[in-house]
Structure 1
Amino acid sequence: MIPMSIRRPASAALAGVGMAASLTLVVGIGVLPAEASAFSTTADPGSPAPTAAASTGQAEDGLETVPLIVEGAAATAVPAAEDLVLPDDETPLAAQRAPGDEALLQRTVPTAGAVVVGLAWRPAGLGSPRAEIRFRTATGWDEWADVEMTRGEGEDEARSGAGALAPVMSEGMVASGADAIEVRISGLDSAPVTDAHLVLVDGGQEATWPGPGWSAASSTGTTATAVGGVLTATGAPAVISRLRWGASDVPPRPECATPDYGTQLDRFVVHHTAGTNAYSAADSPAILRGIQRYHVDARGWCDIGYNVLVDKFGQVFEGRRGGLEELVVGVHASGHNTNTVGVSVLGDYTKVAPTTAAIDALVRVIAWKSYLHGIDPAGSAVKNGVLMPRVIGHRDVAQTSCPGAIQNHLRDIASRARSQMLTYQPEFTRIVANDGVQRVAPAVVEVDIPVPAGWTATLLDSSGTAVARRSGTVTRRATVTTEFATSHEAVLAAGSYSVRFDGVSTNGKVFSSTTPVRLRYPDGFVAQTPRVVLDVQSGSAGLGTLLTTQALGTPTTAAAVLLRVCASGPTTARISPSDLSPAMAFELHVGSGSTGCALGFVGTGLDRQVRVERPAGASGFRVESLGHLPAAGATTPYWDVAASPFRTDIGWVAGQRIATGNVDGSFRPVAPVSRQAIAAFLYRAAGSPAFSAPASPTFVDVSQTHPFFREIEWLAAAGIADGTDLGGGRQEFRPAAAVSRQAMAAFLYRAYDGSPTEEPSGFSDVTGTPFEAEIRWLAATRITTGNPDGTFRPTAPVSRHAMAAFLRRANEV
């Protein structure tokens, strides 16, 4: 959707309508191009009074405002609306005044595709006038219907800060299928208003409808299809995604970038949009685009307010952005937007019965969402201190007639939804063996459980015999992480296995899935009898515990220990070598309503201790030690450097605390050195000098929360490294990028105050390179000896063990 602006008409609208008892407007629905301006509480002081012919509001990008009074127009008799004949041209009728006290305005423009209409004004006193509207369709004029006017519906106004300043507005009413509308406002003597106007919105051209493969049958069935990545659960209603109906996913304001989410579904609030029911099935996507435009551009909300929308043909549409399966906070019922799902039916059902197709669609939506969130739609729950049914109408929580006659069907809808959800068959939607995580693979397995359920995970050996089981429950859709490292108090041997997940959902359905896995450990791993080293059931104990190798039950020479960490959610625990920043930690994340375990190697570091951090209040927190990896010799604290030709250099940088290794106790000698790592190495090699980092980051990609923010800022301030110029005074550092050997030469030359030398480097591949002088200095000082073939390979990345050798030799120059 192209962003649109709202225009305020030049007239002062209904300023000072003390002599008028009512106001009537008849307007053809149209959209005409013009300049844009914004809503304002008053008219521009210097604006000339418009003529009757100029009273047509003007539009841009599919949205138009039309004033409801024209100043200075002649007063004449008003013909009955039933006698109105829309002219073929664009000439509006004059403003008119009927006999007696009623002030009336009548005006027409040709139809040009508006699909949604709204009414707005600004109160000029206490009280509220009565507004009524009716639409002219192919069968004539509809009956008069009251228009409910509100200032706002809650959360989005609070986020924008505009709620108290917003005009009083109606909901966006469906106008498709109508060629004229008539508005009647009464009670203005006691409740005057200003800036009264209509907002007309067209549906835009974002989507071609019907789309390829679309049919009425395919859009109203009950078989779930992955439309735009929306659906996964078996039994879900077919839903037309935001992508298919042409929604805009561009947040209108920065505070709208991230949707808000609830925690536990309480109930459903059913609405109708009001307006005409004369639309066709093919009109519905354009109507949704019009409602989104009205909510965003006229009402100032972050997105379309409803979570789900349904039309009279039974088509179901994804509403507010944030994930149809999630509990997104909408804007549809003030005070009742959080932990509810707002479902709205397109059209007005105040005086007509809803279609069977629309009722059936409501049943499907409510059954599926209840199933996902584990509630009984036919039950009751307390909300704001009041016990109410799980399925209610808007009028149950607001002064409104919404959702009209649909209210009479809500009890039956809830009962049918309960029956339908009992037929749904769940399935595990994703099982991932985390191959390679923390170098224990794939002992940690993740599975997505789409509904509240009890689950059991069974590890089977190659003969199909169960060797280990894990189990738990989830109270809502969740990802469960489980691990398999022990069976009968013994560490499992490496080899091929399979994991079978079995679940029982809240509707009594059984589901199962199996995936192959392979368990392996790094060379040199020594298993031990599992040992509980920390067990905290509640409270603040264990918030920042240090565990020595003795407490872990491992030798003092252990470079890393294999830990199993389990907790009840929600929590995030961090485990790291004591000499590493907590920001570089092995983490366990457990979501709300579930339990989880993680398995991984954690280095003991130079201090031979492991730090365990957990948030206050986390319950059921347990850490077990399962074995260890010995250090690769007495000169190094790492377990993976035995084969490195620079093992002694690695031991030196470790002893000088220039390099602290990785979370899992490894050094990863052949891995390339990143730019952020070389910043840390050089800062520590310089003795970690006192340095005050600037308040504003130098580089756009290194914020103050970056784990190496201080080191990178020091590197830049010392003139050792700069960034890439992005223009406009902006630079990026690219902290994760690998450092080339020639860039490494430049860094060391600047850090160690290198001096120019004319001595040839002896390398065959450095002449003409951008850092040839620095490489010559590197060779002259014997910091580098190059490769056996006489090359330096300037553009190749520098490895971590080679960097250890370069740093040690540079320190001795």
Structure 2
Amino acid sequence: KPGRTVVSVLPRTEVAPFSLVGISWLGTAAESTKFQVQLRESGKWSHWYTLSHHDDHGPDAQSSEAATVRSGTDPLITSHATGIRARAVTTNGALPQRMTVRLADSNTTPQDRALLAQRNGPTANAVAVPAYVVSPQGALVARPNLITRAQWGANESWRNEDPSVGTAIMAGFLHHTATTNSYSASEAPAQMRSLYAYFTKGLGYKDMAYNFLVDKYGNVYEGRSGCPRAPAPGASCDGPAVPAVGAHTAGLNTNTFAISAIGNYHTNKPTAAQAAKLVSAIAGLMAWKVAPYGVNAQANAKLVVGSDPKGKSRFNEGDLATIPTISGHRDAGKTVCPGKYLYPYLPKIREKVVALMQPAVKNAAITPVAIRALDPTNVTITATVPALATWSIDVMNPAGTVVSRAEGVQSESAGDIGFTWNHLDGTGALLPEGLYKVAINVVVGSTALPTFNSNVALASLPTPVTSVSRKRVSKTKSQIRWAAVANASPVSYKYRTKTGGKGKWSKWKYTTSAATKVTLKKLKRAKTYRMEIVATNALGQAPATTLKFKQ
């Protein structure tokens, strides 16, 4: 076509199986340039795929990392293709220099599948890491259950020996990888390895571009490392907690971090369930990362813009850029990233981060919650409170009088508090049966946190149900009533029925909201039925009360 130039980058070539392809070059490429590939999959050649490219990715121009990198397209994930053809199409006759096709391959391994099965377990870390971080306002934010670099299989020899590290975290960016959304949970670690290979081997980055990645199932992956490749003897390093300088947002990589959603969220709309998992995972990770620095998720950050020779930033070098503290890539760069289907979730992500960063009592627990009134077993009350918090634990009797109290001041780090209640009165005698209220009060500075309230029942085993009556309400229905069993521990009622003397008992059923009546349905006229009713609470259950009636 007139004004259209097509240059073959690579003719049809048979190669070893690969799962990722991208094209890299030196210098810049005009936005109008199209980079396209054909793949040979399952013995057949595909149509031409167009690879998107965004020069606003990458390290800051003034960094040492920038001297070694190449520009490149977003990678395309394939299903282990065995052939490749590539071309560049331009309308102005200008093409980038030294274009190269980059391939990477990583298969799903048994370790990947085993990793998926272990996601509910603790994070495997080379060093002990705290379960929480604390904000200057006293909020405790839980550490996400990260899939570490070791777990997803990062080859540490591919990255730089000593990462660049900032001094703080002032903002976080949300990206997407612009790759396929068609992957299973067990295939995501292989995609991590392929992306890592493309960034380091294909584009010359010193590590993964992003600090963290999140798959569509809500699993969070450690991206760029914050630790030296060969730490000093005896030294420990918690890489995800370090403000490592990434290569994700041109001119704004220092004192920021990036989370990239694995997939293309400009062409693929997540389901409601997928969106909920993404929002929850991203918000939890954002909150944990910004909390130690007191970042307000609903505010703006002012960042000095570094060099951007490709001109893809929305700001100029040296500007004091004002952007949301939790931004999409498009808020800083001339791009659609993180895609038209993910970007609209940023307000909800910010709301969740704000909620997660509210100072609060965490992990409050009472064991046991019900105990026999004359049993000398102690009740243990525990919670996790912020650093330097003043706290008290009050136990009140049914009349609201405090019968026992513990109090203290937390140290300079967040931690657990505990109190063992022996349920004795001032004379050393066991307190009487009743429902006792437990209140955990915490004050951080001049701010009182919401009180945690719960109950402990000093109770007894329920007694058998009494005053059972039956009323026939139709040919096929009968209503059974009984008297409520008095007990400090909430009582529930379950029942079962059978026909005649030799019939098979039905499964146990519970009445709704501990009701003391139930309507039996689908009964047969003139048929004899037996019914058992049992009162139960946290301490156990009473002997069954039996009712026999004829419909």
* 1:273 to 1:299, Cα distance in 2 relative to 1, 3 A: same
Question: What is the distance in 1 between the residues matched to 2:281 and 2:74?
Answer: 22
Higher mean Cα deviation, 284-293 or 114-123?
Answer: 114-123
Are 2:171 and 1:267 aligned? yes
Question: What is the distance in 2 between the residues matched to 1:142 and 1:267?
Answer: 41
Q: What residue identity is the alignment partner of 1:365? A: L
In the TM superposition, what are the counterparts of 1:380-391 in structure 2 within 5 Å? 380-384=300-304, 385-391=320-326
Tell me which residue corresponds to 1:241: 148
* 1:175 to 1:344, Cα distance in 2 relative to 1, 3 A: farther
Are 2:279 and 1:359 aligned? yes
How big is the shift at 1:415?
1.3
1:269–1:393 Cα contact (<8 Å) kept: yes
Tell me which residue corresponds to 2:258: 342
Question: What is the distance in 2 between the residues matched to 1:453 and 1:414?
Answer: 25
Tell me which residue corresponds to 2:58: 153
* 1:111 to 1:346, Cα distance in 2 relative to 1, 3 A: farther
Question: What is the distance in 2 between the residues matched to 1:292 and 1:399?
Answer: 24
In the TM superposition, what are the counterparts of 1:627-638 in structure 2 within 5 Å? none
Pick from 337, 350, 355 the counterpart of residue 402 of structure 1: 337
1:308–1:342 Cα contact (<8 Å) kept: yes
Q: What residue identity is the alignment partner of 1:412? A: K
Query: Helix, strand or coil: the match of 1:210?
Result: helix
Question: What is the distance in 2 between the residues matched to 1:508 and 1:332?
Answer: 40
How big is the shift at 1:108?
5.3
Pick from 331, 354, 361 the counterpart of residue 247 of structure 2: 331
Q: What residue identity is the alignment partner of 1:199? A: R
* 1:130 to 1:242, Cα distance in 2 relative to 1, 3 A: same
TM-score w.r.t. the length of structure 1 is 0.37
* 1:297 to 1:451, Cα distance in 2 relative to 1, 3 A: farther
Tell me which residue corresponds to 2:499: none
Question: What is the distance in 2 between the residues matched to 1:451 and 1:350?
Answer: 42
Question: What is the distance in 2 between the residues matched to 1:366 and 1:155?
Answer: 22
Question: What is the distance in 2 between the residues matched to 1:353 and 1:143?
Answer: 23
Query: Helix, strand or coil: the match of 1:414?
Result: helix
For residues 138-197 of structure 1, what are the alpha-carbon distances to aligned partners after superposition, in whole Å with 9 as ceiling and x for unaligned?
9x979965511438722598325xx35643222444445777777553226431233222
How big is the shift at 1:404?
0.9
Pick from 211, 218, 221 the counterpart of residue 317 of structure 1: 221
Query: Helix, strand or coil: the match of 2:114?
Result: coil
Question: What is the distance in 2 between the residues matched to 1:301 and 1:188?
Answer: 30
2:176–2:339 Cα contact (<8 Å) kept: yes
1:153–1:331 Cα contact (<8 Å) kept: yes
Are 2:77 and 1:170 aligned? no
How big is the shift at 1:317?
0.7
* 1:509 to 1:243, Cα distance in 2 relative to 1, 3 A: farther
Pick from 122, 131, 136 the counterpart of residue 34 of structure 2: 131
Q: What residue identity is the alignment partner of 1:239? A: L
In the TM superposition, what are the counterparts of 1:488-567 in structure 2 within 5 Å? 504=444
Tell me which residue corresponds to 1:210: 113
How big is the shift at 1:299?
2.2
Question: What is the distance in 2 between the residues matched to 1:457 and 1:188?
Answer: 70
Query: Helix, strand or coil: the match of 1:208?
Result: helix
Are 2:5 and 1:21 aligned? yes
Q: What residue identity is the alignment partner of 2:262? A: L
For residues 255-307 of structure 1, what are the alpha-carbon distances to aligned partners after superposition, in whole Å with 9 as ceiling and x for unaligned?
x3333332332111111111222222111111111222222222222221211
Question: What is the distance in 2 between the residues matched to 1:451 and 1:178?
Answer: 54
Query: Helix, strand or coil: the match of 1:290?
Result: helix
Question: What is the distance in 2 between the residues matched to 1:506 and 1:227?
Answer: 38
* 1:317 to 1:310, Cα distance in 2 relative to 1, 3 A: same
Tell me which residue corresponds to 1:225: 122
TM-score w.r.t. the length of structure 2 is 0.53
What is the aligned length? 350
1:267–1:390 Cα contact (<8 Å) kept: yes
Tell me which residue corresponds to 1:298: 202
Question: What is the distance in 1 between the residues matched to 2:445 and 2:33?
Answer: 50
Tell me which residue corresponds to 1:660: none
Pick from 349, 355, 362 the counterpart of residue 413 of structure 1: 349
How big is the shift at 1:370?
3.2
Tell me which residue corresponds to 2:327: 392
Higher mean Cα deviation, 343-352 or 170-179?
Answer: 170-179
Tell me which residue corresponds to 2:520: none
Question: What is the distance in 1 between the residues matched to 2:80 and 2:183?
Answer: 5
* 1:295 to 1:127, Cα distance in 2 relative to 1, 3 A: closer
For residues 607-634 of structure 1, what are the alpha-carbon distances to aligned partners after superposition, in whole Å with 9 as ceiling and x for unaligned?
xxxxxxxxxxxxxxxxxxxxxxxxxxxx
Pick from 192, 196, 200 the counterpart of residue 103 of structure 2: 200
* 1:205 to 1:469, Cα distance in 2 relative to 1, 3 A: closer
Query: Helix, strand or coil: the match of 1:258?
Result: coil
Q: What residue identity is the alignment partner of 2:148? A: S
Tell me which residue corresponds to 1:191: 94
In the TM superposition, what are the counterparts of 1:778-793 in structure 2 within 5 Å? none
1:151–1:167 Cα contact (<8 Å) kept: no
Question: What is the distance in 2 between the residues matched to 1:307 and 1:263?
Answer: 15
1:363–1:417 Cα contact (<8 Å) kept: yes
Q: What residue identity is the alignment partner of 2:185? A: A
Question: What is the distance in 1 between the residues matched to 2:152 and 2:143?
Answer: 19
Q: What residue identity is the alignment partner of 2:346? A: L
Question: What is the distance in 1 between the residues matched to 2:288 and 2:330?
Answer: 24
In the alignment, structure 1 segments of 5+ residues that lack a partner are 1-17, 25-67, 70-104, 428-449, 459-463, 479-501, 512-813
Question: What is the distance in 2 between the residues matched to 1:275 and 1:250?
Answer: 25
Question: What is the distance in 1 between the residues matched to 2:284 and 2:328?
Answer: 17
1:177–1:279 Cα contact (<8 Å) kept: no
Query: Helix, strand or coil: the match of 2:93?
Result: coil
2:54–2:335 Cα contact (<8 Å) kept: no
Question: What is the distance in 2 between the residues matched to 1:116 and 1:327?
Answer: 29
How big is the shift at 1:457?
11
How big is the shift at 1:381?
2.1
Question: What is the distance in 2 between the residues matched to 1:146 and 1:334?
Answer: 20
How big is the shift at 1:210?
1.6
* 1:154 to 1:203, Cα distance in 2 relative to 1, 3 A: same
How big is the shift at 1:387?
2.6
Higher relative contact order (CA 8 A, sep 6+): 2
Pair member with larger Rg: 1
In proportion to residue count, which structure has more strand? 2
2:23–2:35 Cα contact (<8 Å) kept: no
How big is the shift at 1:127?
4.6
Question: What is the distance in 2 between the residues matched to 1:470 and 1:142?
Answer: 65
* 1:469 to 1:150, Cα distance in 2 relative to 1, 3 A: closer
Query: Helix, strand or coil: the match of 2:102?
Result: strand
For residues 355-397 of structure 1, what are the alpha-carbon distances to aligned partners after superposition, in whole Å with 9 as ceiling and x for unaligned?
3233332222223323344323233222232332121111221
* 1:171 to 1:469, Cα distance in 2 relative to 1, 3 A: same
Tell me which residue corresponds to 1:122: 26
Question: What is the distance in 1 between the residues matched to 2:265 and 2:193?
Answer: 21
